[in-house]
A and B are shown apart, each in its own frame.
Chain A
């Protein structure tokens, strides 16, 4: 019986062990170019043990790269929320607005970040050296925006008529109705949208960095692929996954806080 109490620790470790085993066997047999786990560790050590080192533009500690990526994601994500939330409110509040823009939104929503990025670069060609950064921001914002837009719209439509009736009886102004009733009632939906948007923003950053060659985890991954240092591709994938996981957990914590409000 005692053994089972450690389930939560032992079982995930077994899972990791199985994957490592498959990886090791694969690199030894059918995928000769895939570095083995041990080789990956040896080669990644300097990047992990000195995570904030800066040896050159594209030769930095892995957490330093992650930090660059996070900063860019934060900016693009902030842009997505600032643009997406008001659009969501307009969609939720106005039937005419919905009829006008919903078809466009439905068509733009499934477009891949890889398709947006070149357009972003073209849009900001005039800025010269910074075009990469602005193009990446544009791509993150436009791809990450949709869950926020749609969840906010659903949330606004779901505000109970009772709350709105209270506002009408009290003759609340439009502004007060928005701040005292609509926004608080919509917050749980908004935060669900925010969480999903952050996930997408993090997905997009890697693609954006790959194509623009900016320093960051994605840029590093692509550069090391071109430099034939395949160990670092795996290192980057693991870091990207871990960071994405942590971001999602943090957002769920926030989301849960607002669900009860």
Chain B
């Protein structure tokens, strides 16, 4: 029995289906990366697992129990950090710890908070407000908050895509270290194939929407711990990277072939400023503009 199981999940927001017939099963302790184009429905997928959204059809099960509401057993790291700006780093995390461990003594809770902050190397900034932190630091706080809840599964929604490349690789290394330490089940959403290869046991592509669904998963058999410098020369890494990239590009090509847009181009001639004003043709009035439609492949 898989730990997390989605079967036949569909989701629409009043318009066309965003997700269509999504099936996914993840074992306990597995680190799964889901890669896809932006706008394809990755955040929607995470929201469904988190219980923030309900599927229109199909079921989402954790531990064989259907997910009906959000809860702290699923730690979410939101795409835009979602720290409460009026609380300090410590207070943001303490809010989560108080909710999850109401029976602990205050000292024990403070200890958990401090430990979570230390795990992401933020102890010196623990009394700062989010607005006083850089993007990378905010993201670490968000991760620390999720870790402090000691969830059964971590849901990371593009945690690093808003960061610069250097900060991103530092945090990737930290994620790897944290995951090695307690082997939590993780679903990582990303649009960076290298990041997925560095961290995940398995990579699943999400086809572009509307009607996005999960493609065939690729097992990442690279030995751990993975070193980013060594990986760059690893033939297996190169093979996997080409495989996943081609899979995504394949979807992209299909998308190109199917999506056409109609642009309406106004028929306007540029005014010739060399001709004296009095003899120049009068510029067209808006209702005189002839329109023609041109089909453009996106």
Contact = CB atoms under 8 A, between A and B. Distances in A.
Interface string B69-86: 111101110101010111
A203 to B, nearest CB: 33
A171 B86 contact: no
Interface in B78-112: 78, 80, 82, 84-86, 95-96, 99-100
Contact of A165 (B72, B78, B96, B100): B78
A8 B78 CA distance: 49
Contacts of B96: 170
B22 interface: no
A171 B50 CA distance: 12
Nearest to B80: A162
Contacts of B100: 170
Interface in A148-200: 162-163, 165-166, 168-172, 176, 180-181, 184-185
B243 interface: no
B242 interface: no
Nearest to A170: B99
A261 interface: yes
B263 interface: no
B52 A171 contact: no
B80 A172 contact: no
Nearest to A180: B95
Q: How large is the interface on A (under 10, 10 to 19, 20 to 34, 35 or more residues)?
A: 10 to 19
Given A169-B50, A171-B72, A184-B84, A162 B78 contact: yes
Contacts of B70: 165, 168-169, 171
A189 to B, nearest CB: 14
A183 to B, nearest CB: 10
29 contacts: A162-B80, A162-B82, A163-B82, A163-B84, A165-B70, A165-B76, A165-B78, A165-B82, A166-B78, A166-B84, A169-B50, A169-B70, A169-B71, A169-B72, A169-B75, A170-B72, A170-B95, A170-B99, A170-B100, A170-B149, A171-B70, A171-B72, A171-B99, A172-B99, A180-B95, A181-B84, A184-B84, A261-B85, A261-B86
Contacts of B80: 162
Contacts of A166: 78, 82, 84
B94 to A, nearest CB: 11
A184 B85 CA distance: 9
A170 B95 CA distance: 8
Nearest to B84: A163
A177 to B, nearest CB: 11
Contacts of A176: 99
Name the residue among A170, A180, A184 with the largest chain B CB count within 10 angstroms. Answer: A170
A169 B80 CA distance: 15
